[in-house]
Amino acid sequence: MQQIINFIIRNKNFLLFLLLFSISILFTIQSHSYHKSKFINSANFLTGSIYNSANNISIYLNLRSQNKLLFEENKRLKSLLYNLESSIKTNHSDSLNVPYYFSNAQVIKNNYSAPDNVLLINKGTNDSIKQDFGVITTEGIVGIINEISGNYATVISILNTTSSISAQLKKTNHIGSLTWNAKDPAFVQLTDIPKIAPVVIGDTIITSGRSSIFPKNIPIGTIAYFNLDAAENYYEINVKLFNDMTNLEHVYIIENINKPEITNLLNE
């Protein structure tokens, strides 16, 4: 017993180092799987409020470009509104039947240089945001909500090697999964598209709506170039994103109201 205590006292620094090092490795491994980074994430009061106040200052630096984006979207929505006005008037009885609910948020921390990028937005449980809600901009998709606190939430960006989102070709219904190879923030990779699919450079890629996170038909990007994988059965497609992931400010959060029902059905 005496010897064990002596050993601990003699090597206390090494043991302390070993303990803390293994704790850090544990946190690192946990952060590679969804919904496991419970303690070490930026959606807490301290980091959230610091990023929020820093963002309040830096928001002025890109007001012009953000205004232009919102203006473009207003224009698009206005044209949709006036074109649809007549048809809405005739059947406004089923207006409560919309399956998707949208809310807006601001990105207060954006990151795109690491292999696993995580964003922070200024909405949380107080605004009825929950895990696995989709996040999009006016131009394309951004990611999926991961950890949430009262006023903040982290978003697993599509520029994250652990993220995988179901996507398809706009022309046909061939479905693949969208991943990122951690190289260029302007390009993501679409894999598992079968060889038989008619893939052409410049075609549009949209969300498939199969994951019950994103609705169908949200634009993602266009095909930049493609090649067959090692087994020559599937295409590996490089997709040029529509939205500029390095310049994000206003985003929309999508809640699928039917999601609990769908997941229940799938689990049975």
Partner 1 sequence: MNNLLSVNSIRFIVLVLIQVLIFNHINFMGYINPYPYILFIALFPVKSNRAIIILSSFLLGLIIDMFLDSGGIHAAACVFIAYVRPIILKFSFGTMYEHHNIKFGAVDFGSKITYITLLVILHHIILFSLEIFSLPKVILVLQKTLFSSIFTILLSIIITIIFSRKSK
Any contact of residue 23 with partner 1 (CB under 8 A)? yes
Alpha carbon distance 164, 116 (integer Å): 12
25 sits near partner 1 (criterion: CB under 8 A) = yes
Distance CA 167, CA 100 (A): 18
Q: Are strands 100-109 and 175-179 parallel, antiparallel or unpaired?
A: unpaired
Q: Which of 8, 10, 20, 80 binds partner 1 (CB under 8 A)?
A: 20
Residue 32 or 78: the one with the smaller Cβ distance to partner 1 is: 32
Nearest-approach distance from CB 236 to partner 1, in angstroms:
16
Write the DSSP symbol of residue 206.
Answer: E
Which residues 6+ apart lie within 8 Å of 45 measured at CB?
149, 150, 151
Minimal distance, residue 177 CB to partner 1, in Å: 19
Tell me the C-alpha distance between 139 and 220, whole Å.
8
Distances in whole angstroms, Cα of residue 261 to Cα of each of 4, 25, 211, 266: 57, 37, 13, 9
Residue selected from 8, 26, 77, 81 as contacting partner 1 according to rule CB under 8 A: 26
Does position 8 interact with partner 1 (CB under 8 A)? The reply is no
- Per-residue binding string, partner 1, 100-139, x by CB under 8 A, is -----------xxxxxx-x-x-------------------
List residues binding partner 1 (CB under 8 A): 12-14, 16-17, 20-21, 23-32, 37, 40-42, 44, 46-47, 50-51, 54, 111-116, 118, 120, 154, 182, 184-185, 246
